[in-house]
Amino acid sequence: MRFVYFARVREAVGVDSEERAVPADVRTVQDCIAWLESCDARYAAAFADPSRLRFALDQQMVAADAALADHEELAIFPPVTGG
């Protein structure tokens, strides 16, 4: 799966995107966050406050309980602040 990060999350993770093989038991966005946090302290720091995280699967905004299913890209970012 392709992971993309924006803004504060991108800076904390240290890359703007990466490819990672997701374990079979990681089924939802929330599972993915927990799995990444267990992989490296950078993710734990980037995802420390779940209330300040938003997600998109294949460029559609989704909630944390959304299933990864056949999606190819998961974006993780803070609440938006444009305009």
Partner 1 sequence: MKKVAITADPIRTSQALDLLEHLGGGALASFTGIARADLGVVALELEHYPGMTERNLDALADEAMARWSLLGCVVIHRVGKIAVGEQVVIVATAAGHRAEALDACAFLIDRLKTDAAFWKKEHLGDGSALWVEAKGTDDARADKWRE
Angle subtended at Cα 35 by Cα 29 and Cα 39, rounded to the nearest 5 degrees = 140
Binding track, positions 7-36, relative to partner 1; x by CB under 8 A: xx----------------------------
Beta strands across the sheet bearing 60-62: 17-19, 2-5, 73-77, 54-57, 60-62
- The answer to whether residue 50 forms part of the interface with partner 1 (CB under 8 A) is no
Could you say which of 1, 28, 64, 78 contacts partner 1 (CB under 8 A)?
Answer: 78
Could you say which of 29, 55, 75, 76 contacts partner 1 (CB under 8 A)?
Answer: 75
Task: Work out the widest C-alpha separation in the chain, in whole angstroms.
Answer: 39
- The answer to whether residue 77 forms part of the interface with partner 1 (CB under 8 A) is yes
